[in-house]
Every structure is written in C-alpha cells, then in structure tokens.
Amino acid sequence: MSEGKTRRPKAETPKGFRDYFGTEVTERKAMLDAIAGVYHRYGFDALETSAVETVEALGKFLPDVDRPNEGVFAWRDEDEAWMALRYDLTAPLARVAAQYRNDLPSPYRRYAMGPVWRNEKPGPGRFRQFYQCDADTVGTASVAADAEICAMLSDALEVVGIPRGDYVVKVNNRKVLNGVMEVAGVLDPSDPTRFEAERGIVLRAIDKIDRLGDAGVRALLGEGRKDESGDFTKGAGLSLEQAEVVMGFVSAKRDSGAETVARLRELVGASVLGAEGVNELETIATLLDAGGYGADRIVLDPGVVRGLGYYTGPVFEAELTFEILDEKGRKRQFGSVAGGGRYDDLVKRFTGQAVPATGVSIGVDRLLAALHAKGRVAADTTGPVVVTVMDRDRMADYMAMVADLRQAGIRAEVYLGNPKNFGNQLKYADKRQSPVAVIQGSDEAARGVVVLKDLILGAKIAENATLEEWKDRPAQLEVARADLVQAVRKMLAQ
C-alpha cells in the first residue's frame, strides 16, 4: 500500500455473527410479543438486565491473562475487573435475585427476552449471538411451580401458531434418574463424587437414544462404541445387569401417566431420592390434569435428559412432532424448541443459602423456523404505501397525503429519492414490497383526484394474466383526493 493512502475497512459482519433485516425482525418481535402476552397473563413480570455482567457474577470460568475464552466474550475493565457479555439469561437472574432479595416478592416470577453471546466456534446455523426467551420462578420448592411452567409453555406454543397435535411437552425428573443410578450401582448417596465420570457417560448416552437407538446406548453403557467413521467412544463400563436397569428407565414410558409412574416406582426400588422424584412427577401430572392439560399436550417421559448435571429435580422439553425435509430431502421430525427444569443452586453462589428455582428457555430462532415450516408466521410484513413524487415543487402536497394515511393508522412513506425517473419509483416500491402506490401529477392535482396503483394485483396479473379471481379488480383506480384514505384502506383490505 502506498504511503499516505487510507485503508478502507471491509464491509463484512464478524465471523459467527449475522444481520437481521426488516421482515426477520418484525416476525421475531410478533412471536415474542405473543409469548410475552402468555407470560404476563400467568402473572410473570418482565425483566431487562444489562448485556454485560462481571465475570465473577457469571461464575462459569476463570479468565486467563491473554484471552478469557471459556465460552464468553470478556475483557478487563480500567479498574482491573473482568467483564463479559452474558452467555444466557439465567446467570443475570441469579445476580438480580441475590442483589434485590430484600425488595423482590418471594417467589419472584420473571420473564426475559434478548440476545446472548457465546464465544465458541460458529458453524452452519450456529451463531455467536442469538436470542433467548426465558421464564423462571425463584424462591419456591413447590412442584406446582414446575407444573405451571409446563402449562405456560404449552399455551405459548399454541398462541404463536403450533396447534395441539403438532407438539408435546415432555416431563422427567433428575431425582428419578439418580434413584435408578443408585439401584444400578453408579451413585453412592453418602459420596456424591464417587462414580461421577461413569454417571456423566450414562447421562450423555441416554441423551443420544433418539440418534443411536437401544444398541448404541447399550454399547456406551458398557465398554464403548465405535461409530461409522471408526472413532471409538469410551463407555461407562457398566455390567449387563447394571445396563439393564438403566435401559429399563429409558423405556419406562407407558400409555398413561399413572402407568409410567407405577413403572418408575418399580425401577427406583428402595432409593429414597428416587421415590421422592416419582412422587413429584405424580404430583405434577395431577396438577396439570386438574388444569385441563392432558396427554395430548404434556406427558411424563423418562427419555428426557436435558444436560441433567445442571438440574436438581423436574426437567421438561417441548418437542415439535410434525415432519420436515432435511437438507438431503429426507423426512425427519422438527425436534426440540424449548427446555428447562428445576435448578435449586441458582442464588447460593451469592448468598450461601440454597434458593429453589425453576424455569424454561425457548429457542427463538428454532421456533421461528418451525413457524416458517408450517406457514404460520403471523407478523404483518407488508411494506408501506408509497406516495410517488411527480412534481418536485409539490412536495408539500405529497407530505400532506402521507400524513393523512399515517394518522389513519396506515403505514406510508413519500418517495425521497430522485423523482426524475418514475419507473425507478415503482421499482423502489416493489423492493419495499409496497401494496399500493399513490400517484398525483399536475393534471390529477388540477382535477382534485389521485391515482391508486394496486401493486400486488399488478404482480399477480404479470404472473398469470388469465387468473379468474383477479379479473374483476382494476389494477389502477382514480379516486377523489378527499377519499384517499378510505380508498387505500379498501384496497389494502382486498
């Protein structure tokens, strides 16, 4: 580069990030507004926290001097304190619950929606910034709070356009699985750290049941599994008898909640913790049934794991059951769009006292993708009515027209580019996905009229000039200037 020449920055998004334009933002907001309406109806309050937290408050990693890269974007402030972008909406809730514990009601019910950031390797469809939508109840050990979260999740899915039959909320309990682990001999209640590695492998194996099937999970419970590429994954080293107990848990789901509960009681045997978990599941099922949430919406399913190391009691997952085509054209179920559970050590890091909590997080991008797959995005993404400019010196008249339209609640704008080429104005309206163009030259102004051009009808006629449904509707209409708002409203309604 020659000396003195200014180097221009590259106009590109950083790796792992993306931009969201008008329609995408509008659709997401409409979906989140609908979900917020459900949360609000359940008595939850909105909470907005800073995008930045202290690393100490986040508490998930120890920063190294050069680059704190354990999953977060972090930096050292001028006072030498480490700061980081939040990686989820739960860690900030823990800080808020501790910081304002004397001011907040207990239990505290809050929902939060917003972007989070993860400093991890990006991939196809995997970005370093994404949206989360959470609801949590902090300060009660009652499983009624867990049942309520499940009911609220069910209502939220239905209100955004996922009908009954296209989803199921599955409920399990960490205590039940721990009871089964105890029976299988891989959990010692007197020494929770014993068999920790084996339990981790068992958890990961169960979580892969849908992908690997019974044989693959059994292999991981035993000596290990070799995949199609030849890579070997070390197993938990369980005996055949131990593995059989775990597999019995995975396949414990029965036709009814009562039958599932009975089977789980058999499996947990004499385990006190396991029996406690089964009782909690039974209570949740009873409470949901009383509220009208039957097996067509919410079911007990021991196959739900959800990173169980994080949870201390009930866990739940919302799964969409309809089929889509993957990138290779094969049919598959859409899968999970939300999950959560009880995590009773949320605030303990700050206060030293255990504070029970339960919550759920909806995957915003996945749920929006599901709505697209079903053609159920309810947001109004129509472009604005465009008032074109035929005479540059009559801009005040055009501004008066657009003001009338806006005051009537109609989205509208005046064309503010170079008005010399009228064709370019219509191209602009097309790019803006405008439904109607308003045209008034000096001749129309002298007669006190405007011309309305139906751009949607024009596009349809261009596609297929013989369409019967469009033939009685004029693509262009002349109306009195005084009737502008009424005529545009009628055209939009059509």
User: Mind giving me the DSSP string for 403-446?
Assistant: HHHHHTT--EEE--S-TT-HHHHHHHHHHTT-SEEEE--HHHHH
Spatial separation of the C-alpha atoms in residues 426 and 430, rounded to whole Å: 6
Q: Name the CATH superfamily for 385-493.
A: Anticodon-binding domain (3.40.50.800)
The residues with which 47 forms a beta bridge, in sequence order, are none
**When comparing pLDDT for 307 and 201, which is higher?**
201
Task: Give me the DSSP letters along 356-389.
Answer: -EEEEEEEHHHHHHHHHHHT---------EEE--
Lowest mean pLDDT among 161-175, 319-333, 409-423, 444-458: 319-333
Helix 272-290 and helix 143-160: axis angle, to 10°?
50
| pLDDT at 370 (0 to 100) | 86
Domain residue ranges of the chain, discontinuous segments joined by +: 14-141+344-381, 162-325, 385-493
Q: Nearest 5°: phi and psi at 188?
A: -110, 105
Q: How many Å apart are CA 479 and CA 494, to the nearest integer?
A: 16
Region 337-347 average pLDDT: 88
Residue 75 · residue 81 · CB < 8 Å: no
Residue 308 has pLDDT above 80, yes or no: no
Quickly state the pLDDT bin for 65 (edges 50, 70, 90): very low
Which CATH code for domain 162-325?
3.30.930.10
Do domains 14-141+344-381 and 385-493 share one topology? The answer is no
pLDDT confidence of residue 43? 96
Quote the strand ranges of 33-73, DSSP E. 45-46, 52-54
The CATH H-level superfamily of 14-141+344-381 is Bira Bifunctional Protein; Domain 2 (3.30.930.10)
pLDDT band at 480 (very low <50, low <70, confident <90, very high): very high
Mean pLDDT of the 62-77 span: 62
pLDDT tens for each residue of 271-304: 999 999 999 999 999 999 999 999 999 999 988 8
